[in-house]
Structure 1
C-alpha cells in the first residue's frame, strides 16, 4: 500500500493499484497531452484515450463518495487539426458515473501565434464529483468584490452591504500566471502548475488532514501545496529526475552543492533559516544572483485579469475602428500595447532576481 505523503517512482497505474478504494478526498492533475513534449511519448489519439480511461477508472475507484477530480488538459494537434482534449475526456468521466460541476477556462494570454487558425489562448480544467453529496468550501476561496464595501442606498436595506464581506465567488475563468521564465516557482519541467491555482482547487474541496492525489505528480507542485495547507498527498511520477525534484521541493532543503530546484524553495529556506540568499543557487538560474522575496515584483490573479480585460478591450476597439474606416492601420494603441501585440510578449516582469 502506498503510504501517505509518498510519491511512487514508476507508472501511475502501478501507484494507483497500491491505494485503497475510497481513500482519497480530491484528485488534482494534468495528464500528458500526447503532443510529443520531451516528457511524454506521442501515441495515436484513440490509444492515448484508452490509456487515460484506464487511469481515470482507477482514480474513480480510490476517490471517496464526497470527493472531486480536477483534470486539466490542453489540445491535441495533428496535421493542422485542433482537438480540445476536454471534449474527449468529458464522456470518459461521465461513463464512470461522475457528475460535471464546472468547465473552468484557464486563460493563457501569450504563446505561439498561429497562421492558419486563431491562436490558442486557453486550457481547460474539468471539475467532476463522484456523487451528488460533495465537499465545496466557497468561503475558503473567495476573492475581493469589485466594489467591496458597496451599500444599498434605498429601501429597507438602505445602508447595508449589498455583497458578501468575505468576497465573491471567483468564477470559472482563471488567469493564474503561467510558470515559465522569470517565475520563482519555475523548475526544469516545461509544463508546471502554478501553486496558487492548485491551492484554489485544493482549498475549495478538502479540509485540513484530507488526502489529495496527483497520479501525474511531475515535479511535485500538488504535493507542495498540500503540505503547505495541512493536507496529505499521494502520487506517482515516472521520470526519475522529476521525482527527485519533487522530493527536494517537499523537503525544502538544498542539495549537497547548495542548489535548490527553484527560486521559491530557496527563498522559503532562507526565510526560515535566516541564511543569506546569495549563499545558494537554483537549477534554472541564469546570470544574476537570487534576491530576497521582498525585492521581487509579484502580481496576483486579479492584476492579470484586469490587464487581460484592458488588453482585449483595446484590441477589439482597434479592430472595430479599422473595419469602420476610422483608422488607417491595424491598431491605434499605446506604444507598449503595440509592442505586446506585435511580439506576443505580454508577460509582466516579476523582478525575481
Structure 2
C-alpha cells in the first residue's frame, strides 16, 4: 500500500476510488458526500453478493474515516437492495459499519422521491436515506446558512412580556430531516447521461451546513461531477474519483462550463449558465440529453423549490388519507357499490407529480 501524499485540490481522479483514497493524507477533508453503487445492477455497477459488496464498502469507508478531519462530516446516501422478493434498506447495513469505524451518528435524512420503484407484493418505494456521521463531537454545523422560511414567518406573541415580538427566528427555521428535492430525471435542467445524479440544491444544503468557505469536499464516487460543481460554486475546494471514463469526461465538461467542439454541453443547466454569462442565444447550442428541437433559456424553466414539492407531498398524503378514510366508512356502513365509489374516487384524484417541462 502506498503512503498518503499531498494531492492536488479541484481535481477528479479517473480510476478506482479505493486505490486513490489511500493516497489522500490523513485528516485533510472537511466533508465527504456521495452515493455509492447500490449493488442493484445499474449500468454503472457490477452486482455482487451483498456480503462481498458490504466488505468492499467497508474498506472504502475506512479510508474515508481516516482522511476526514476531526471536525468533519460524512454523508452516505443509499437506497435498498432487493433479492428474491425481499427488500433490504442499505442504510440499516451501513449504520453499524460506520459506528464500528468510530464515527458518530447525527441524522438519518429521508429523501422523499416523487417517483420510485413500483411494487405489487409490497408497498412501493418512495424514499431513500442519507446517513450523516461526524468524526467527533466537535463538528461544523452552520444552521443559519441553510434555514428555510417559517410556516408563519412574521408570527408575533400576543400576550405576556414578549407581546408584539417575533416568536420565531427571523432568518427561518431548521429544514429538518425530511427532504424532497426534485429527482434529476427527464426534463430536469441538471440531467446528464448519468441515470442517478444528485440534485445540486441538495448537495448545496450539505456543503453549506457542514463546511466553511475554502473547506475541502470529497466524493469518492463522483459520477458526472455534481459535488465538484456545487462545491466550486459555493467557494469550496473539491476532490474525488470516478472509475467510468464517460462520466469522468462529463464531470470535466461541467466544471469547464464551455461547449465542446460540436457545440454541445453536458446538460441544459451548463448551457443556460454559459449563455447567460456570454449573452448568447441558447438555441445555438445543444446538450447531451436533449430531446427538444432547440434549447430554451432559463426564463422558460419550470423549476420548483423544495418547499413547493413538500407542500405538494403534504397535499397528496392528506388527499390519500382522506380518500382511504372515506372508503373505510363506506365499507363499515355497508354501502353496496364499492367499485363505483372507487371509480369515482380515482376520477376525482388529480395527478400530483406531473412531468415538469424545462
Tell me the TM-score range normalised by the shorter chain. over 0.9
CA distance in 1, matches of 2:156, 2:25: 51
CA distance in 2, matches of 1:76, 1:231: 33
Report the equivalent of 1:45: 50
**1:167 aligned onto 2:172:** yes
Question: For residues 120-159 of structure 1, what are the structure 2 equivalents within 5 Å?
Answer: 120-159=125-164
The answer as to whether partners of 1:2 and 1:8 remain within 8 angstroms in 2 is no
Structure 2 residue runs of 5 or longer lacking an equivalent are: 1-5
Q: Which runs of 4+ in 1 moved over 2 A?
A: 326-338, 346-351
Q: CA RMSD in A?
A: 1.3
**1:347 aligned onto 2:353:** yes
CA distance in 1, matches of 2:172, 2:293: 39
CA distance in 2, matches of 1:331, 1:20: 63
**1:189 aligned onto 2:194:** yes
Indicate which of 324, 330, 353 corresponds to 1:325.
330
The answer as to whether partners of 2:117 and 2:124 remain within 8 angstroms in 1 is yes
Q: How far apart are residue 141 of structure 1 and its match? A: 0.2
TM-score, normalised on structure 1?
0.95
TM-score, normalised on structure 2?
0.94
The answer as to whether partners of 1:322 and 1:331 remain within 8 angstroms in 2 is no
User: Deviations for 1:261-319, whole angstroms, at most 9, x for unmatched residues?
Assistant: 10000000001111110110000001331111012121100000000000011011101
Report the equivalent of 1:263: 268
Report the equivalent of 2:110: 105
The answer as to whether partners of 2:116 and 2:127 remain within 8 angstroms in 1 is no
CA distance in 2, matches of 1:172, 1:250: 30
User: Deviations for 1:28-72, whole angstroms, at most 9, x for unmatched residues?
Assistant: 000000000100000000000000000000000100000000000
Does the residue aligned with 1:53 lie in a helix, a strand or coil? helix
Indicate which of 335, 345, 349 corresponds to 1:337.
349
CA distance in 2, matches of 1:293, 1:139: 28
Report the equivalent of 2:230: 225
Does the residue aligned with 2:330 lie in a helix, a strand or coil? coil
CA distance in 1, matches of 2:27, 2:348: 52
Inter-CA distance 43–257: structure 2 relative to 1 (3 Å threshold): same
